[in-house]
Structure 1
Amino acid sequence: NFSPQQAQAIIQELLNHNITQLETHEVQPILKGYGFKTLPTWLANDAVEAIHIAEQIGYPVAVKLRSPDIEHKSEVHGVMLHLRDAQEVESAAQAMLERVNIDYPTAQIDGLLVQRMANRAGAQELRVAVRNDPIFGPVIFLGEELMNWNCYQDSAVGLPPLNMALARYMIIDALKSQKIKQRSTLVPIDIDALCSLLVTVSQLVIDCPNIEILDIHPLLANGPELTIIDASMTLNADTNQIPRLAIRPYPKELEQWVELKSGKTILLRPILPEDEPEHKSFISHVTQEDLYKRFFSDVGEFNHEAMSNFTQIDYDREMAFIAVFENKGHTEILGVVRALSDPDNMDAEFAILIRSDLKGLGLGRIMMEKIIHYCQHKGLQRITGMTMPNNRSMIMLAQKMGFHVDIQMEDGVVEMELNLIK
């Protein structure tokens, strides 16, 4: 349910007006396109307007200083909470502005932000941030809301793209290392909800490369309810100055719908870490004979580590397309084809496996065409593979598709090679 076009349009409009430092009320429309729950925020020019807003939204309220020149508002008590009436709002606003005039006489003051107080009873205050590392590109940090917060020392670290499994590892790391402390007086953190938020943050920075810095603090975690109280963002119009992702995100553009000879419509798409259970079920539908032809040995049940190697891949060096059939909310994997390229990006070795009960539907050829087209588009010069002499269907398919086939009976292998340079 993401709306990247909405977020990108807002960011571009801000950049068109040379606005690169965003405060909470400016960040909220961007976050809204990704389904984040935020606390409505109003802008007031002075104490009188702040009182008027507070009367409209209801007490108690929080009043916060707006100034691009004061990074830590706490230095001037620039955040006043639990203001219960007009007199308290007026006193807090005036005192805040007076302190700024004394301590930062040259600071630019852009007014005040007014929010209705969030229910903090039992909630844990967390911090989620994104910084750009010169080597790794965007890095996601998760920790607690602290006064003198150091992102590398006080948080767990993750690299986008995050999925639910990687986000869970990140949260567990934060809990084990005491970067987030479980307190008996607070509502326990809902790990699934926090995982979902981290994955969404990851997708946001992938979709919007102009985001250089994102800081969400505090994030109120009250069971499954996660509310962003404040957020700031730094934009950069020149995306070439921002290091890009260390890990290539899921290439959704490679998804393709195809029809089998039976008339069944299936989806060809890159494999995902979340496909591990379905991939294990898929292998259970492959006979031992077909598994032997694929792996050149007798194989037993694949453990979690092996299945992770099959499903968690680096899309820059390896590609695995799976054929997926959706049936009443249930996902079935019908086949998989892989290609692993060498470090020079010259050659790739392929391997293919089709469910044993689905042969003769043309799926093998469809998947081979998919991986060949992918390798050609990537600029590879050659694709090779190996099979066994008794795998006649694979040998015949390779020959029909233009592969040079070398049957080596003494060694018990068949080498297949296709030149991709036209």
Structure 2
Amino acid sequence: MLRVHNTHELFAAVETLAHSVPLRGERLAIITNGGGPAIMAVDALSDRGGKLAVLSNETIEKLSDVLPSCWSHANPVDIIGDADITRYEKAVNILLDSDDFDALLIMHSPSAIAPGNKTAQRLTEVLATHPRTKRFNVLTNWSGENEAAQSRKIFTEAGFPAYRTPESAISAFMHLVEYRRNQKQLMETPISFGDTSIVSGENKRNPRHVHDVLNHLLAQEITHLETHEVRPVLESYGFKTLPTWIASDPAEAVHIAEQIGYPVAIKLRSPDIRHKSEVHGVLLHLRTADEVANGAQAILDRVSMNYPSARIDGLLVQRMASRSGAQELRISVHNDSVFGPVILMGEDAAAWNIHKDAAVAIPPLNMALARYMVINAIKTGKIRQRSNLEQIDIPALCHLLVKISQLIIDCPEIVDFDIHPLLASGTDMTVIDASMTLHPFSGDKQARLAIRPYPKEHEESFTLKDGRKILLRPILPEDEPKHKDFISHVSVDDLYKRFFSDVGEFNHEALANFTQIDYDREMAFVATSLITNDEGKPEEIIIGVTRALSDPENVESEFAILVRSDLKGVGLGRILMEKIIRYCTQSGVKRITGMTMPSNRGMIMLAQKVGFEIDVQMADGVVEMLLPLATNTPE
């Protein structure tokens, strides 16, 4: 995932990523025959937050042996304007032999001593033959027009991106860096935090109650909800809100204010006036009965004068929330014609431009993705951490964003949703005002989402032969620690049969690939059970996993099953096998395939029992399994 800001940058990013290998790090080395362009490149790198590699003493000594004594003795490696092709070649080879950098930018300014085309041709040969070239991303900048254009073509045809200016080359390198950073953040292991955990038993949301509330309102043809109507929905998902009372007239507003205590806020309640600011329909910090009575009457008078036909359903009265040290944020959900629901977040402001003032995310959000959204909002100035206000607790804000995401996923009737403002003070997140727009919905509620959320409908409970109760459910990104523990309970022999090779300890990247899947393209089910941990509390563990990966046409799906080595013979393997078969059948897959070793007799016998065709290929040491499916094409 990479964000660009214009069409030129879009095509430049595609060019760079198409010719790149994954960055090992973010250190850039620069070699140049022109000091000025190199300085421009370094300035651009600094402006974009990039890192200039530091050359080791060993590398500097090797370069000093082949370069003039007046060379830069640092990065950028300025090989001086009189550099010929041979000097370029020697310097590039020395750099490629080192481990001082992660990407190399080769720059060239027009020179009669080192003609652009000949230098480019020779360097492509050097890069193609050096054994370590593939370890690095190599970018080139050949400045100039006419002849330089031909030089850039030579590099491009050889598979090395070429750029016309130092700035565009640095921009390309930073695309690689930002892509790496984004991928790293997206692969962070999410934290199960409070009621965002689907499997922890702490999920406090009540979607059934919310559906009843929304359908009741829609049955009355009420499609726009104000704060007091939204409040029951929010409280069903664990949001902290301010109590709100309805007053029919100024006198009742005074009575309510006397009961709840001053200071109070009063707000117009009218289905015909969406933006209360049009009639100054919100008054804050009213401290006496006279202020409430006069303010309420003034609101009603302004409505009568400016909107004589508008319906007035009274006034809303709230006790003023303490705003001392709190930051006012705005969080909205809008439906985009392409991406479906999108979540927007920024600082609360009268003139809120979603294109300039808001960070954007697409549900579903987990804690890692929510944190990415918050950090991005802070980095880009959409949210500013002010020294005179209490610092926002990032995990608490992430928790709130995850709850908003879950609300939108659960309730397709919600077309638009606006929290305006949210008071954020440390860990305290209080919704002051909120509004919703509703529309009747029928059909697949997940089809409207750009990213398929956790498919809870696939959860099933079973009892094993030993009496152990298990939950079979789709895998979650949060399962990474549990998956690591699960693998530690699988024998070396069983792992060899599963992966067809000796495997060591799985690192974070490998475990993230197992647990962070796109449910539209791949499915993995984990069998979990509860144990009592050392603290005497119930803890969920993974005891088995089955997964299926379908081809792009959804014709064939390859399956795999792995069970804890100490839990064989209790029927878990068959439960996992039948689960993945049911899933593939429901998904419209035409056939399931798998591969194992002839020595894996347990898997072969299980596959035969459920109807797989078995093809033993002793010469190759593999057993191929095939199960044609009588599929039900999904709607």
Q: Same fold (TM over 0.5)?
A: yes
Residues 196-215 of structure 1 show CA distances to partners (whole Å, capped at 9, x for unaligned) of 22222122122221110111
Alignment of 1:110-129 (within 5 A): 110-129=313-332
TM-score calculated relative to the size of structure 2 = 0.63
Q: Which residue of 1 aligns with 2:585?
A: 376
**CA distance in 1 between partners of 2:205 and 2:405 (Å):** 12
TM-score (norm: length of structure 1): 0.94
Aligned partner (choices 233, 247, 252) of residue 436 of structure 2: 233
| Counterpart position of 2:371 | 168
Distance 1:203 1:420 in 2: 34
CA 1:241–1:417 in structure 2 vs 1: closer, same or farther (change >3 Å)? closer
Partner of 1:346: 555
Which whole-Å CA distance do the structure 1 matches of 2:216 and 2:287 have between them? 37
- C-alpha distance in 1 between matches for 2:226 and 2:286: 21
Q: Which residue of 1 aligns with 2:473?
A: 269
Q: Give the whole-Å Cα distance in 2 for the aligned partners of 1:5 and 1:366.
A: 30
Aligned to 1:325: 529
Which residue is 1:278 aligned to?
A: 482
Q: Which residue of 2 aligns with 1:156?
A: 359
| SS of residue paired to 2:356 | coil
Which residue of structure 1 aligns with residue 90 of structure 2?
Answer: none
Residue in structure 2 matched with residue 244 of structure 1 by the alignment? 448
Deviation string for 1:180-238 (max 9, x for gaps)? Answer: 11112222212222222222212212222111011111111122221111100000024
Instruction: Say how many residue pairs are matched.
Output: 422
**Structure 1 equivalent of residue 509 of structure 2:** 305
- Structure 2 unaligned regions, length at least 5: 1-203, 533-537
Q: CA deviation at 1:101?
A: 4.3
Whole-Å separation in 2 of the counterparts to 1:374 and 1:314: 15
**Is the aligned partner of 1:416 residue 2:625?**
yes
**Matched-pair contact (CA < 8 Å) for 2:358–2:377:** yes
CA shift, 1:380, in A, is: 1.9
1:60 aligns with 2:268: no
Secondary structure of 1:121's aligned partner: coil
CA-CA distance at 1:8 after TM superposition: 0.9
CA displacement, residues 311-352 of structure 1 (integer Å, 9 cap, x when unaligned): 111222211111111112222111110011222222211011
Query: 1:26-78 CA distances to partner (integer Å, 9 max, x unpaired)?
Result: 11122222221111111223322221211121110011122344443234332
- CA shift, 1:15, in A, is 0.8
1:115 partner SS: strand
Provide the C-alpha distance between the structure 2 equivalents of 1:312 and 1:152, rounded to a whole number of angstroms.
30
1:38 counterpart residue number: 241
Deviates more, 1:318-327 or 1:139-148: 139-148
- 1:4 pairs, out of 207, 214, 236, with 207
What does 1:391-406 correspond to in 2, within 5 Å? Answer: 391-406=600-615
Q: Which secondary structure does the structure 2 equivalent of 1:370 belong to?
A: helix
| Structure 2 partner of 1:315 | 519
Change (3 A) 1:182 1:346: same
Is 1:187 matched up with 2:396? no
Q: Shift of the alpha carbon at 1:99? A: 3.7
- Amino acid in the other structure paired with 1:340: L
Measured in 2, the distance between the counterparts of 1:241 and 1:20 equals 21
With 243-252 and 324-333 compared, the bigger mean Cα shift is at 243-252
Residue identity in the other structure for 1:315: Y
- RMSD of equivalent CA atoms: 2.0
Cα displacement (A) at 1:296: 2.2
Structure 2: distance between partners of 1:269 and 1:5: 21
Match of 2:616 among 399, 407, 421: 407
What is the Cα deviation at residue 104 of structure 1?
A: 4.4
Distance 1:286 1:261 in 2: 20
Q: Which has the higher contact order (CA 8 A, sep 6+)?
A: 1
Aligned residue type for 1:323:
A
Letter paired with 1:78: G
Classify the secondary structure of the residue corresponding to 1:410: coil
Of 191, 215, 219 in structure 1, the residue corresponding to residue 422 of structure 2 is: 219
Q: Name the CA distance, whole Å, in 1 between partners of 2:613 and 2:494.
A: 22
Structure 1: state its 5+ residue gaps. none
SS at 2:450 equivalent:
coil
What are the residue-to-residue correspondences of 1:131-142 with 2, within 5 Å?
131-142=334-345
Residue 288 of structure 1 and its aligned partner are, at CA, apart by: 2.8
| Contact 2:412/2:441 (<8 A) preserved | no
What whole-Å deviation, never above 9, does each CA across 1:262-285 have from its counterpart, x for those lacking one?
A: 222221111111111111111122
Given the alignment of the two structures, is residue 390 of structure 1 paired with residue 599 of structure 2, yes or no? yes
Task: Read off the aligned partner of 1:337 and give its amino acid letter.
Answer: T
Q: Which has the larger radius of gyration?
A: 2
From the two aligned structures, give the one with the greater strand fraction: 1
Question: 1:334, 1:261 → 2: CA distance?
Answer: 14
